Structure 1
Amino acid sequence: MALLTFALGGSVVHAQSAAAVAPASAGSAGASQSGVTQQSIGYWLDRLHQASRNRAYVGTFVFSNGTEIASSKIWHVCDGRQQFERIEALTGAPRITMRRNDEVAIFLPAQKLVHKDRREALRQFPDLLRAPNRRIEAFYTARVVGTERVAGLEATVVDFVAGDGLRFGYRIWSEQRTGLMLKMQTRNPQGRVLEQVAFTELLLDAPVRMEQLARQFEQTSGYRVVHPVQRPSTAQEQGWRLRSEVPGFQAMGLHLRQDTQAAPMAQWIFSDGLASVSLFIETFNPQRHTREAVLAEGATHSVSRRVAEHWVTAMGEVPPETLLLHIQALERMR
């Protein structure tokens, strides 16, 4: 989770076919028994996306990645135009994340700080999945594998199987009545679970009051409010391009961030509709940038390399080979 907060972070490797994802647990009913028909991944993504945008609920969810386990409580409401959300960390340092549409405010009570940013800097359960795009079916397929109960609710279990080795697969538990995502696993091509997030308690159609969350969003009295210094830009304006596209990943935008007194850092974001990659580009500093490295935390990997007179860190919930391909394709135009 710590690696995601900021983005909110070799040789060419040929794509390999993803191994079949392990079947649902022995206690699950088969897809044919549940009466759920196989649908395209576009259908499932649209259903999950709409459910997270048009539902009031209160629940507790747990995130784990093998080294970290964290739980949070969420209050969510939408009136069709505006969404409000409050997420309170139940483990670790006190932290409350408030969201109003794409505006995010992170309250740190111990430091009396509020960090305000845009939605693109965070990914929160159960809205981890992005809206579907037309290209996604070329790189993922959906397969219903059974039904299971999660947080006391019946869910359809769907595998999103990656078509190559450049992205991970996902297993999704979708609540049968509303479509809301109750649980998600990120899996490598061998089917090993890298990360998991799941509701342990959930009250659907809860009486969440939008005006109360709206007041909480604005209640910053006694806190120091910090806004990141950032501005939108383009790769061309910054003098960068990719010699070749990494299969499936499209550029989503670039902006400059300056959170310290150091020179601005460019963040260039790519996505295949499910997974995303960020290229953080800054001027090379031999005192700080001493070692090229590949790091991993759950499903999140990062790769750091020197490119021309710059230091590039590629980060995302993808295999490290995918990050290397992005860095190797990066070319300085001036």
Structure 2
Amino acid sequence: MSRTAVLPFRVARLRLAHGLLALCAFGAVGLAAHAAPPAAREGKERTVNEWLQRMQKASYNRSYIGTFVVSSSTGAMSSARIWHACDGQRQVERVESLSGAPRQTFRRDDEVLTFVPESRTVRSEQRESLGLFPELQDPADTTIAQFYAARRVGNERVAGYDADVVQLAPKDSLRFGYRIWSEKKSGLVVKLQTLDGDGNVLEQAAFSELQLDAPVRISKLSQMMAVPEGWRVEKTQAQKTTAAAEGWSLKASVAGFRPQSCYKRPAEGVLQWIFSDGLASVSLFVEAYDPSRHQQEGVFASGATHTLTRRVQDWWVTAVGEVPAQTLKTFALSLERKR
């Protein structure tokens, strides 16, 4: 996969980056039924898991309309208008891009439709996980605390709402830190910064305008997902598999990162292996080496996202993630062909 081939990954992340603030661990539906942690009830400092569980729970119980802006240290900026409806069990969203090419993206649970007006095309795909922040598949998982520490560092207002400012500091150099603004009453995240090892802001995602508990209905958004007459539907053909079944493995695991899923796309000849530590995610893309396309090995950065390209025997590997470059190098050097 060439460097330009991973740009759609970046663009998709920017369009759906509000998930950093609202979706918070796609798939953990049962969390809403959990009681508040004892430490939170007693007014003590919350642990990293208690903060993340609170943020996650809020995303399943608050409908809203807002304007969302993502900016990076490189000067890149993307914005979108978002309508988010939920009932504690299901989530439906509409995201309309306000910058770049006109786009509307709808997500209903794991179904994602992207409407592209200039080509009168609807791109349809299923996403078991959006790979967004945080990836808490199991709310009771305590391993995140082995790699991150959390502390409340202040109060600020964001988009008209009072918020706790929470610092998530990594305990090693394999991951970035985060500064999170969590709305005081509900816990919903309204702003997030990704920080490098020196505390510099690599990327910021925030609501510039937000209406909580807005009158937005799941049924109304679902009706808007109907494909207009005369439009073409393109379905992404991704088959779920395992890295072992495709002949790949890691010589050694990367501390804190666990495999989440693996897909192959026969039409493109690409395998994608996804890892997460609960907050950050890494994707390894593998395809047959083509000297006419795969000409430059190296590491490239865009905001908090790093991309590494490397030839491995007769294969071309592209590693992408919101992690330090060294983490991607560790993954790439550990990847090996078993057959």
Change (3 A) 1:92 1:122: farther
Return the TM-score normalized by structure 2. 0.85
Instruction: Work out which of the residue numbers 103, 126, 134 in structure 2 matches 1:118.
Output: 126
Instruction: Work out which of the residue numbers 60, 71, 76 in structure 2 matches 1:64.
Output: 71
Partner of 1:14: none
- Cα deviation for residue 220 of structure 1 reads 3.7
- Cα deviation for residue 328 of structure 1 reads 0.7
- Cα deviation for residue 122 of structure 1 reads 4.4
- Cα deviation for residue 236 of structure 1 reads 1.1
- Cα deviation for residue 74 of structure 1 reads 0.7
Return the TM-score normalized by structure 1. 0.86
- Cα deviation for residue 221 of structure 1 reads 2.7
Partner of 1:193: 201
Instruction: Work out which of the residue numbers 171, 174, 190 in structure 2 matches 1:166.
Output: 174
Quote the Cα distance in structure 2 between the aligned partners of 1:180 and 1:300. 24
Quote the Cα distance in structure 2 between the aligned partners of 1:122 and 1:138. 24
Instruction: Work out which of the residue numbers 4, 7, 10 in structure 1 matches 2:10.
Output: 4
Instruction: Work out which of the residue numbers 313, 316, 319 in structure 2 matches 1:311.
Output: 316
- Cα deviation for residue 72 of structure 1 reads 0.8
Quote the Cα distance in structure 1 between the aligned partners of 2:13 and 2:99. 22
The Cα offsets for residues 53-97 of structure 1, whole Å up to 9 and x where unpaired, read as: 221111111110132112111111112222110111111111111
The reply to whether residue 331 of structure 1 matches residue 339 of structure 2 is: no
The secondary structure found in structure 2 opposite 1:235 is coil
The answer on whether the counterparts of 1:95 and 1:107 sit within 8 Å (CA) in structure 2 is yes
Partner of 1:73: 81
The answer on whether the counterparts of 1:5 and 1:121 sit within 8 Å (CA) in structure 2 is no
Partner of 1:270: 275
Partner of 1:138: 146
The reply to whether residue 257 of structure 1 matches residue 257 of structure 2 is: no
The answer on whether the counterparts of 1:72 and 1:88 sit within 8 Å (CA) in structure 2 is yes
Quote the Cα distance in structure 2 between the aligned partners of 1:151 and 1:226. 37
1:37-56 equivalence runs, <5 A: 37-56=44-63
The answer on whether the counterparts of 2:264 and 2:271 sit within 8 Å (CA) in structure 1 is yes
* Percent identity for Structure 1 against Structure 2: 48
Quote the Cα distance in structure 2 between the aligned partners of 1:122 and 1:242. 23
The secondary structure found in structure 1 opposite 2:102 is coil
Partner of 1:109: 117
The answer on whether the counterparts of 2:133 and 2:278 sit within 8 Å (CA) in structure 1 is no
Change (3 A) 1:6 1:312: farther
Quote the Cα distance in structure 1 between the aligned partners of 2:336 and 2:112. 33
- Cα deviation for residue 257 of structure 1 reads 1.5
217-226 vs 232-241, greater mean Cα deviation: 217-226
The aligned amino acid for 1:202 is L
Partner of 1:89: 97
The answer on whether the counterparts of 1:114 and 1:220 sit within 8 Å (CA) in structure 2 is no
Unaligned 5+ segments in structure 1 are 9-34
The aligned amino acid for 2:323 is V
The secondary structure found in structure 1 opposite 2:50 is helix
168-177 vs 66-75, greater mean Cα deviation: 66-75
The secondary structure found in structure 1 opposite 2:118 is coil
The reply to whether residue 243 of structure 1 matches residue 251 of structure 2 is: yes
201-210 vs 179-188, greater mean Cα deviation: 201-210
- Cα deviation for residue 230 of structure 1 reads 1.3
The Cα offsets for residues 114-142 of structure 1, whole Å up to 9 and x where unpaired, read as: 1112235746xxx7322253311100011
Quote the Cα distance in structure 2 between the aligned partners of 1:304 and 1:256. 19
The Cα offsets for residues 255-310 of structure 1, whole Å up to 9 and x where unpaired, read as: 102454xxx10000111000000000011111111120211110000101111211
- Cα deviation for residue 331 of structure 1 reads 1.2
Quote the Cα distance in structure 1 between the aligned partners of 2:185 and 2:286. 44
Partner of 2:22: none
Change (3 A) 1:170 1:7: closer
The reply to whether residue 177 of structure 1 matches residue 182 of structure 2 is: no
The answer on whether the counterparts of 2:310 and 2:318 sit within 8 Å (CA) in structure 1 is yes
Quote the Cα distance in structure 1 between the aligned partners of 2:252 and 2:12. 27
Quote the Cα distance in structure 2 between the aligned partners of 1:281 and 1:177. 44
The secondary structure found in structure 1 opposite 2:119 is coil
The secondary structure found in structure 1 opposite 2:245 is helix
The answer on whether the counterparts of 1:86 and 1:97 sit within 8 Å (CA) in structure 2 is yes
Instruction: Work out which of the residue numbers 200, 220, 224 in structure 2 matches 1:212.
Output: 220
The answer on whether the counterparts of 1:265 and 1:282 sit within 8 Å (CA) in structure 2 is yes
The answer on whether the counterparts of 2:133 and 2:280 sit within 8 Å (CA) in structure 1 is no
